[in-house]
A and B are shown apart, each in its own frame.
Chain A
Amino acid sequence: MANPSLQIGNSNWAIKESNLLGYSTAGTRFLPQPITMTRASAGTRVNSQGLIETVELLGSELVDCSSFDCADPAAAWIEGSGWSFSGGKAKYDGTGGTSGLVQSNVIEVGKQYKIIVEVLSNQGSGNNTIYLGGSVVSQSHLAVGTHTFYGVTSNTNVSIYIYGRSGEVFELGSFSVKEVTKNNLARVDYDGTASSLLVEPQRTNLITYSEAIGSNGFNPINSTIVADQTTSPDGTSNADLLKENTANDTHFMFKDFNLSNGQAYSISVFAKSNGVNRNLRLDGGGVGWSSNFGINYDLTNGTVGSGGVIESFGNGWFRCSVTATTNATTSRLLVYSILNSTTSYQGDGSSGVFLYGLQFEAGSYSTSYIPTSGSTVTRVAESYVLPTTISLDSDFCLFWDGEVLEGDIMLYGSGNNNSWYMNYSTGSGRIILDESSGRKVQAFLGSGSPVGVKTKILIRRSSGVHSVFANGTKLTNTVSVNSTTTLSLVSMFWSFNSSFNKGLEVNQSQVFKTSLSDSEAIALTSL
């Protein structure tokens, strides 16, 4: 069977979304193809629990008896004076001075590890230093709870250590070490109802402390910035509070940023109301913006004034964002706690807004969260390419299903330079297929649509004739030139951009080396 197909019933295709129903490796019509994904930095996503996390791949547990519940913990661990094991706990009784719990030959030099420590009790305030080989990964007093650290050792010491302090009883429920990989991992992002592949351009968070917001040099006016006041959207207790004082005045913090003149910047922050009718306002202060902004975000009802964007993240948290263009090299950002929509009010000395994940990036929309801690940080662009070029001969269909987060995106093509490509422009709704010899087909999906709208697009070439389908409709071609040129498919999506990719959320990407019928193409592209 040279070119098998799967049919069920009376000429009906069997299509099962999300999971592959079945395929045959015989023939050339339908073959699964590997895709090489690269991103030379880490990246974050929203996981299926709705929590923000850095995408990572964890290895197996490297610590023997990590939960201290094996038959003989003392055989796995080297316990210093004052340490003992019982009932699935490691306990330091405080009698051995600064005394360590050690396990040897756990790690390898040069690899990166994730360390998770569960603290059941801890007296005093002494530092419970943790070593990964010869490198310190934590040097602080560990409160009761679960603590996560990342680290690497660069010398020849391949043991792990944690220390109790003199006179301080210290109990551990577990001590876990796993190898971790963060780069070159695809990101499946959840929005609460569905998941999609997140593909984003290079972006830099210009905020140097995205979570320790008070460390950024903001000037608080009639307010204070208090660290670690509630559980943030990443599930840990690291959200700060912009706390109002008792003045009958405005309550805000502000800072001037050194930016590029004439550049669009997007500002975003996760915010949650603390107190009665306390809301958030982001304001440009009339300093350095071509069109000043002042956006009120209702943190109770999840609504926002004109020009702003608000997105619910559950548990009272909203991601609030605004985009504006500079007209100077110094531009100001003011972050207000407001009462309903009033900026000047009598403060109560304790209310305000919780803040987390402040992000300030050059670009026309806010991308996924880029955590920072002491410097500006860049997430590198993602790239999806086919390691083996697919040759598209006479007939083919290119199908794409997802959301375009920026205006002009390349969905399929031969690579970075102009040879051939399929392009979709949300601003005009234009869908095209260009070859090096010129445009072969052009059609319009309405007169354009806002970015971030789910769209299904299919371009078909059958016996040299092109057709365009989108959202369950066969569109009218405004350009139509026959072609049977063999095309080499290399890239799944990229863009005319210094950082290649623009923003995408991809649900499906399929290439058919055959032409579908009109009814099949309409069914496939129906929303």
Chain B
Amino acid sequence: MNIYKLQYTDKATGDADLLAKGTYEVVTEEGVTQEVYTNGTQAIVYIGQIVEIPATYDKDGHELTPPVYYSGVFYDLMTTEEFDFGTNEIFPVDCVHSFLGYAKNAEGTDIDPDELIIE
């Protein structure tokens, strides 16, 4: 199993790249359009923006300082296939998202579920 950590400038760009690479397709059934995983995709997780510095609040819940985000938006892709995402693929050392049963920082190619630590 492969897990890719991906970063794009925005969601439209990310969705378009994942669609172009064949990780999912758009299917219309009974007038309802949905995204369906294809070609070995097990999961696409849109993480969105990631907070770098959390907001702060006073005791009444009023925001004192807003959160600071890393640039762009982020995805995790789990697939049986291998892809070249170029500079969109990143290798974080302290991941904010993981898959149940996999190590928190599982990333890159050739991840075998049995080789990973349950935390």
- Interface 9-mer from A350-358, A495-503, A517-525: A495-503
**Is B98 part of the contact surface with A, judged by Cβ < 8 Å?**
yes
Check A110–B57 contact: CB distance below 8 A: no
A143 to B96 Cα, complex, angstroms: 31
- Complex contact A150–B34 (CB within 8 A): no
In the complex, what residue of chain B is closest to A208 when comparing beta carbons? Answer: B96
Within 8 A of B (CB), among A378-419: 378-381, 416-418
On whether the beta carbons of A377 and B98 are closer than 8 Å, the reply is: yes
Q: Which of A258, A375, A381 contacts B104 (CB 8 A)?
A: A375
Give the residue of A43, A111, A374 whose beta carbon is less than 8 angstroms from that of B100. Answer: A43
Cross-chain contact B101 with A41 (CB below 8 angstroms): yes
A498 touches B32 (CB 8 A): no
Residues of A with C-beta under 8 A to B119: 150, 373-374
A-B contact count (CB 8 A): 129
Chain A residues, CB < 8 A from B54: 217
A223 at the interface (CB under 8 A from B): no
Query: B29, A496: Cβ atoms under 8 Å?
Result: yes
B residues in contact with A130, CB < 8 Å: none
Given A380-B42, A499-B43, CB of A260 within 8 Å of CB of B48: yes
> Is B16 part of the binding interface, using a Cβ–Cβ cutoff of 8 Å?
no
Question: Number of contact residues on B: which range applies?
Answer: 35 or more
Residues in A with CB closer than 8 Å to B49 are: 258
Contact with A along B23-60 (1 / 0, CB 8 A): 01001011010111110001111011101001101010
Q: Is the CB of B117 within 8 A of A152?
A: yes
In the assembled complex, the CB of B74 is this many whole angstroms from the nearest CB of chain A, namely 11
Decide if B97 touches A112 in the complex (CB within 8 Å). no
Query: A interface, by DSSP: helix, strand, loop or mixed?
Result: loop
For B115, give its contact among A152, A416, A496 (CB under 8 Å): A152
Residue A182 interfacial (CB < 8 Å):
yes
What chain A residues lie within 8 Å of B38 (beta carbons)? 416
A258 to chain B: which residues have CB within 8 Å? 48-49, 51, 67
Q: List 26 A-B contacts (CB under 8 A).
A: A41-B101, A43-B100, A110-B114, A111-B114, A112-B116, A135-B117, A151-B118, A152-B115, A152-B116, A154-B115, A181-B114, A182-B101, A183-B113, A221-B59, A254-B61, A258-B49, A374-B119, A375-B98, A377-B99, A378-B45, A378-B99, A380-B100, A416-B27, A418-B27, A496-B30, A499-B43
Given A373-B119, A377-B99, 16 further pairs, Cβ under 8 A: A40-B43, A41-B100, A112-B115, A150-B119, A208-B96, A221-B61, A260-B48, A371-B100, A375-B96, A375-B98, A375-B104, A378-B98, A378-B99, A380-B78, A496-B27, A497-B36
Question: In the complex, what distance in Å separates the CA atom of A110 from the CA atom of B116?
Answer: 8
Docked Cα-Cα span, A22 to B47, in Å, equals: 50
Most interface-central of B1, B45, B114 (chain A CB within 10 A):
B114
Query: Are A370 and B27 in touch, CB under 8 angstroms?
Result: no
Q: Is the CB–CB distance between A418 and B29 below 8 Å?
A: yes
A110 to B117, CA, bound (A): 10
Report the Cα distance A210→B101, complex, angstroms.
15
